Amino acid sequence: MTATSLPPTSAPRVRVRVNRLVLYTVLVALTGLFIGPFGWLILSGLKTPAELAASPVHWLPIHVQWHNFADAFNLIDFLGYARNSLIIALIYATLVTLSSAWVGFGFARLDAPGRKTLFGILIGSMMLPQMITLLPTYLIFAKLGMVDTYWPWVFWGLAAAPYLVFLFRQFFAGLPRELEEAAIVDGCGYGTIFWRIFLPQSWPVLSASFVIAFTWSWGDYIAPQLLLSADRSTLAVAVMTTYVTSAGTPVANLQAAASVMYVVPILLIFLIAQRGFVAGMSTTGLK
């Protein structure tokens, strides 16, 4: 062995280190790519309108405008709109998680003619854009007198969501058949089996589904804008429509500051439920 040659066992170690370095570099680059827009949003909330409109772009604020966050909070009923968003999101997320779990349990554990066909139709409905069903949905709720109420989110929650049904169906299909058979021998019906055996074991998927559904409802702009009046509307609508000048021009720095405060609850919920969310997304495809 020459002075410059490596021992036979060191070559694999060098290869592993190089692979890890490449992997970490890619992960850091992707992290920066995803965090970048949120960082730019924070910087925009700390600038003046002139700095936002400047050309070439001012990457950092010359004089940090911390008062933009206080102005964005005080110019509108921020807490009132946030309360409306929270009520709607909690109602929808709770109901759609439970209803999707029930439907997913049926697809996973019950044998019935046409089950695979119905499940295929359900998954296929995920390809329908929201705009296609929005107008018929609005006409139905208008006929029922539910416009400017929170009842549409109750019915949407009770109707389950195809993607969440898919998650629960995949998870329930992987549970041992012996659990179900032992419960049937003990005299339990499928309702009892679902509530007392299967649902308590599905907490990872429950956490993931609740976070996903809460994010859907919290971030929805179109449905609240269409169905709710100004005083019942959500924070998403208020952020996009109320920070304007007398001429109707958006005040971009206040919108950015309000958007940062608007995103914070979602980040907190994700951080709290992060372990269950990751576990639910990683186990739903395993049998």
Buried b (16+ CB within 10 A) or exposed e, 209-236: bbbbbbebbbebeebbeebbeeebbbbb
Query: Could you tell me the pLDDT band of residue 279, with boundaries at 50, 70 and 90?
Result: low
pLDDT tens column, 5-16: 555 556 778 888
Residues across the chain: 287
Count of beta carbons in the 10 Å neighbourhood of residue 115: 13
Q: By C-alpha distance, which of 274, 247, 242 is closest to 258?
A: 242
**Tokens standing for 202?**
């599905």
pLDDT tens column, 207-257: 889 999 999 999 999 999 999 998 899 999 999 888 887 777 888 889 999
The answer to whether residues 210 and 202 touch, using CB atoms and an 8 Å cutoff, is no
User: In whole angstroms, what separates CA 259 from the centre of its chain?
Assistant: 16
Summarize the confidence of residues 105-122 as an average pLDDT: 88
- Give the position of tokens 């109320």: 242
Give DSSP secondary structure letters for 230-252.
TTT--HHHHHHHSSB-TTS-B-H
Whether omega before 56 lies within 30 degrees of 0, making that bond cis, reads: yes
Buried b (16+ CB within 10 A) or exposed e, 270-279: eeebeebbee
**Tokens standing for 221?**
């702009």
Phi, psi torsion values for 228, nearest 5 degrees: -115, 150
Contacts within 8 Å (CB) and 24+ apart, 33-41: 38/263, 41/256, 41/259, 41/260, 41/263
| pLDDT of the residue at 258 | 94
275 vs 43, residue with greater confidence: 43
Asked if pLDDT for residue 92 goes beyond 50, the answer is yes
Query: Could you tell me the pLDDT band of residue 53, with boundaries at 50, 70 and 90?
Result: confident
| pLDDT of the residue at 9 | 58
Question: What is the rounded CA–CA span in Å between residue 277 and residue 209?
Answer: 8
Question: What is the rounded CA–CA span in Å between residue 260 and residue 243?
Answer: 14
| pLDDT of the residue at 286 | 47
Question: What is the rounded CA–CA span in Å between residue 281 and residue 169?
Answer: 13
Report percent pLDDT > 90 for the chain: 44
| pLDDT of the residue at 7 | 59
The crossing angle, in degrees rounded to 10, of helices 78-109 and 252-272 is: 40
pLDDT tens column, 59-79: 888 888 999 999 999 999 999
pLDDT tens column, 120-172: 998 888 888 878 888 889 999 999 999 999 999 999 999 999 999 999 999 99
Q: Which residues contact 287 (CB under 8 A, 6 or more apart)?
A: 173, 174
